[in-house]
Amino acid sequence: MNTWVVGSGGLLGSALARQLDDIFAAAPVPWNEPERAAALLNQEAERFADHVDGSPWSVIWAAGAATTSSSGVQTRTELESLRGLLTGIRKHLPAGKGHFFLTSSAGGVYAGSANPPFDRDTPVQPLSAYGELKLAQETLASNMLADFAAVTIGRVSNLYGPGQDLGKLQGLISRLALASVTRQPINIFVPLDTIRDYIYVDDAGRAILKLLQSSASSDPLRIEVVASGSPTTVGQLIQTMNLLTKKRVPVALGSHPSAQSQASDLRMVPSVAVDSRTPLPVGMKDVHLDILARLQHHSVSA
């Protein structure tokens, strides 16, 4: 299957690209220039349609720089980027059987939901501009493409792994590793008993590809949860990093406006089992080694 991963330079996108054999070599998207980005996505959609030439295809949206602390202006810009892509796909619809996969955020859309653990049937209740963005993207993708191709919404839990962007206010495991190496305290804005579902990026990639391969032609729109199914508290993460590095991570408890939109319990029920799931300590060790390597090459700033 010919696959276009939009956002292939990011954490999840690069993991997907590593696991795909037939991947469309799209031009880099200038995300910081929204109008140019929309024009390029439209242009690449036409080139992708020519590339697949009537064979089965899939497009995976794995792009996005917004976080729970993003403003409404930032999230609106990101929504318009997706609209530009979807418009291009509709305008230059490939002839073969197609599948569009949108990576959404389980934590964003379920932040205010009741009665965890959450699954694909749980009513959504976003609490932030970020969560509203993810829900708006889900609606946009289903409205614009479900009549033309299979659409799967993949609500991904807390993603982690080597190479995470430390310029964004997210990625607790990467930041714990960074604090352990640099000895500069990490600010924790939520209680230590806050529960999350952490999934290693390569495991998430395998789950997404499994969902793509199992798509049913009779079901043009599906909503799925991509998660590990193993709840972990923030306190357990800190303890695990302490054991792995044989150092006590310097932690400072503080506050941040984004904490108001953080749920205390985000346990998840994955829609599909991940084969050979990466144990959390193993994945955290990979992240720690990655931070060490990046610091040695002066590519990480605290």
Pick the CATH number of 172-196+230-296 from 3.20.20.70, 3.90.25.10, 1.10.110.30, 3.40.50.300: 3.90.25.10
pLDDT class for 257, splitting at 50, 70, 90? low
pLDDT of residue 302: 47
Give tens-digit pLDDT for 171-192. Answer: 899 999 999 999 999 999 899 9
Enter the tokens of residue 112. Answer: 């205010």
* Dist. CA 145–CA 90, nearest whole Å: 7
Strand, coil or helix: 156? strand
pLDDT of res. 258: 63
The Cα diameter of the chain in Å comes to 57
Does residue 300 surpass a pLDDT of 60?
no
Residue 262 is predicted with a pLDDT of 81
What was the pLDDT predicted at 299? 56
pLDDT above 90: residue 231: yes
pLDDT digits (tens, 9 = 90+) for 101-111: 999 999 999 99
Burial (CB count within 10 angstroms: exposed 0-12, middle 13-18, buried 19+), residue 53: exposed
User: For residue 197, is pLDDT > 90?
Assistant: yes
Q: C-alpha angle with apex 191: 186 to 194, nearest 5 degrees?
A: 105
pLDDT at 273 over 90: no
Q: pLDDT digits over 133-168, tens only?
A: 999 999 999 999 999 999 999 999 999 999 988 877
* Mean local confidence (pLDDT), 223-239: 97
Quote the tokens at residue 31: 């995300």
Task: Measure the CA–CA gap between 118 and 273, rounded to whole angstroms.
Answer: 15
Interatomic CA distance for residues 174 and 190, integer angstroms:
16
CB 279 within 8 A of CB 168: no
Domain residue ranges of the chain, discontinuous segments joined by +: 2-160+200-226, 172-196+230-296
What is residue 274's predicted lDDT score, i.e. its pLDDT?
80
Tens digits of per-residue pLDDT, 68-103?
A: 767 777 788 889 899 999 999 999 999 989 999 999
- Per DSSP, the residues of 34-85 read HHHHHHHHHHHHHHHHHHHTTS-EEEEE------TT--HHHHHHHHHHHHHH
User: Which residues, in sequence order, are CB contacts of 153 under 8 Å at separation 6+?
Assistant: 102, 104, 138, 141, 142, 221, 222, 223, 224
CATH superfamily of 2-160+200-226: NAD(P)-binding Rossmann-like Domain (3.40.50.720)
Which amino acid, one-letter code, is at 270? P
Picking from 101, 79, 86, the residue whose alpha carbon sits closest to that of residue 204 is 101
